[in-house]
């Protein structure tokens, strides 16, 4: 069922984004000429007939990717409208589209990675694939050639031989999840240049039905696009037994201390029909001297009590041991906050802690 995509809202959002017409969740970003570009998943709050869409009905409607910009270090945001939307008769984003990332290239264009969903049938609506596109300016993705880097159905043998878990090919994308676990996890790609300037793609994966991991691939140029050069073995973290799903990973490199940081959203969902009241969501941070790991946890999970999930790092400040971040509220937050963005905040890395900021405090600091 298609629903309308609201035009860009004409008023600025201050100290977070509470959009009157959209539910917003998951986030990724980049900075270009002192402009912060924020992207997230979005869905109209209303059906075409004007009736309200309830948050727990989200998956019954197609998502699009929304774009916001800020020129004051994240204090205020301007809605730039729809960045990318589902395309009819597309294998990589039929009906809906899931999270990804955007990265500036040396030629000024932007590489766009996203999760496509192949709609097999009504009982198998979650067959995820990792796809890329090119944006000329970061404001839209227009006509594009379909470029699926990794397709679990097509590449099942290669993926499983590397040590990743996928259900049997005939059950891939099942609405009921994978062998008594949550739905398949082959999603949320994050584009990253490592310290050798090699182009990497990280995304959420599994090594068991209820055991989250992270996939990593190195890419190489393939005409106007890229293709996977090497799919690396699964990346696991030391406290992975505490959660079942690893989601929306972000990887950073600290040139000051020669350290890699990994930020993930984690969830302990056991099966798809499990009530949300039984599920906890939080953010976890890890460090490593090498991009291949091993990864060391920096401390306790964070942001769970604030109901923030799927964060993005807007700007790094490694000299002061901190990351300027933004994140949306989950459905567990108060009704007026759920699926909106909280104001910006800092994550301090050593020791790990969170500092929430208001507009006055942000304006008084040199970011």
- Which domains, ranges and CATH numbers included, belong to the chain? 86-301 (2.115.10.20)
**Residues 6+ away with beta carbon under 8 Å from 14:** 75, 76, 359
| Alpha-carbon torsion angle 114, 330, 274, 207, nearest 10 | 40
Q: What is the pLDDT of residue 3?
A: 64
**In angstroms, rounded to a whole number, what is the distance separating the alpha carbons of residues 250 and 202?**
8
Please answer whether residues 113 and 53 qualify as being in contact, where contact means their C-beta atoms are separated by less than 8 angstroms.
no
Phi–psi pair at 360, nearest 5 degrees: -60, -45
- pLDDT tens figures, 326-336: 999 999 999 99
- pLDDT tens figures, 175-208: 999 998 999 999 999 999 999 999 999 999 999 9
* Tally: H helices and E strands in the chain: 2, 21
Please answer whether residues 30 and 38 qualify as being in contact, where contact means their C-beta atoms are separated by less than 8 angstroms.
no
- pLDDT tens figures, 3-27: 689 999 999 999 999 999 999 999 9
pTM of the model: 0.95
Sign of CA dihedral 146, 222, 251, 266: positive
Q: What is the pLDDT of residue 225?
A: 87
- pLDDT tens figures, 96-137: 899 999 999 989 999 999 999 987 899 999 999 999 999 999
Beta bridge partners of 354: 347
Q: How far is CA 273 from the centre of its chain?
A: 23
**Residues 6+ away with beta carbon under 8 Å from 247:** 185, 187, 188, 204, 212, 264, 265, 266, 267, 310
For 56, the 3-state DSSP assignment is helix
Which of 114, 149, 109 lies closest to 230, judged by CA?
149
Q: What does the DSSP 8-state code read for residue 306?
A: T
pLDDT above 70 (res 275)? yes
Q: What is the pLDDT of residue 185?
A: 97
Hunting for tokens 């979005």 — which residue is that? 42
**Tokens for 329?**
């509220």
**Tokens for 43?**
């869905």
pLDDT above 70 (res 91)? no
Q: How far is CA 171 from CA 78, 97, 123, 243, 334, in A?
A: 42, 20, 9, 23, 37
**In angstroms, rounded to a whole number, what is the distance separating the alpha carbons of residues 106 and 302?**
35
**In angstroms, rounded to a whole number, what is the distance separating the alpha carbons of residues 41 and 84?**
10
Q: How far is CA 185 from CA 116, 152, 188, 214, 255, in A?
A: 12, 10, 9, 9, 31
Provide Rg for the chain, Cα atoms. 19
Q: How far is CA 95 from the centre of its chain?
A: 19
CB atoms closer than 10 angstroms to residue 236: 19
Residues 79-101: what's their mean pLDDT?
Answer: 83
For 318, the 3-state DSSP assignment is helix
pLDDT above 80 (res 90)? no
Q: What does the DSSP 8-state code read for residue 159?
A: H
Please answer whether residues 273 and 260 qualify as being in contact, where contact means their C-beta atoms are separated by less than 8 angstroms.
no
pLDDT above 50 (res 361)? no
Q: What is the pLDDT of residue 89?
A: 55
């Amino acid at each position: 069922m298609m629903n309308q995509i609201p035009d860009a809202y004409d008023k600025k959002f201050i100290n977070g984004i509470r959009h009157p017409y959209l539910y917003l969740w998951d986030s990724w970003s980049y900075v270009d000429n002192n402009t912060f570009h924020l992207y997230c998943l979005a869905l109209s709050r209303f059906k075409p007939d004007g009736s309200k869409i309830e948050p727990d009905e989200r998956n019954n409607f197609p998502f699009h990717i929304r774009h916001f910009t800020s020129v004051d270090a994240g204090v205020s945001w301007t809605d730039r409208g729809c960045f990318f939307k589902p395309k009819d008769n597309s294998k990589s984003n039929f009906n809906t589209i899931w999270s990804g990332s955007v990265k500036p290239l040396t030629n000024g264009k932007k590489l766009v990675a996203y999760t496509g969903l192949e709609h097999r049938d009504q009982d198998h609506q979650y067959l995820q694939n990792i796809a890329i596109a090119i944006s000329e300016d970061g404001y839209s993705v227009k006509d594009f050639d379909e470029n699926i880097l990794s397709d679990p159905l097509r590449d099942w043998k290669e993926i499983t031989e590397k040590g990743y878990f996928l259900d049997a090919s005939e059950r891939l994308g099942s609405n009921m999840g994978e062998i008594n676990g949550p739905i398949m996890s082959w999603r949320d790609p994050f584009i990253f240049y490592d310290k050798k300037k090699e182009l990497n793609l990280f995304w959420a994966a599994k090594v068991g039905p209820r055991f989250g991991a992270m996939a990593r691939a190195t890419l190489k140029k393939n005409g106007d696009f890229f293709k996977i050069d090497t799919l690396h073995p699964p990346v696991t973290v030391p406290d992975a037994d505490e959660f079942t799903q690893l989601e929306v990973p972000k990887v950073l490199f600290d040139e000051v201390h020669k350290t890699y940081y990994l930020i993930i959203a984690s969830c302990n969902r056991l099966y798809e029909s499990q009530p949300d009241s039984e599920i906890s969501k939080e953010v976890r941070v890890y460090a490593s001297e090498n991009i291949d790991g091993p990864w060391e946890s920096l401390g306790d999970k964070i942001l769970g009590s604030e109901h923030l999930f799927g964060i993005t790092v807007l700007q790094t400040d490694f000299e002061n041991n901190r990351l300027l971040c933004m994140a949306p509220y989950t459905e567990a937050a108060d009704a007026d906050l759920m699926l909106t963005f909280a104001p910006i905040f800092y994550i301090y890395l050593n020791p790990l802690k969170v500092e929430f900021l208001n507009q006055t405090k942000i304006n008084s600091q040199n970011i």
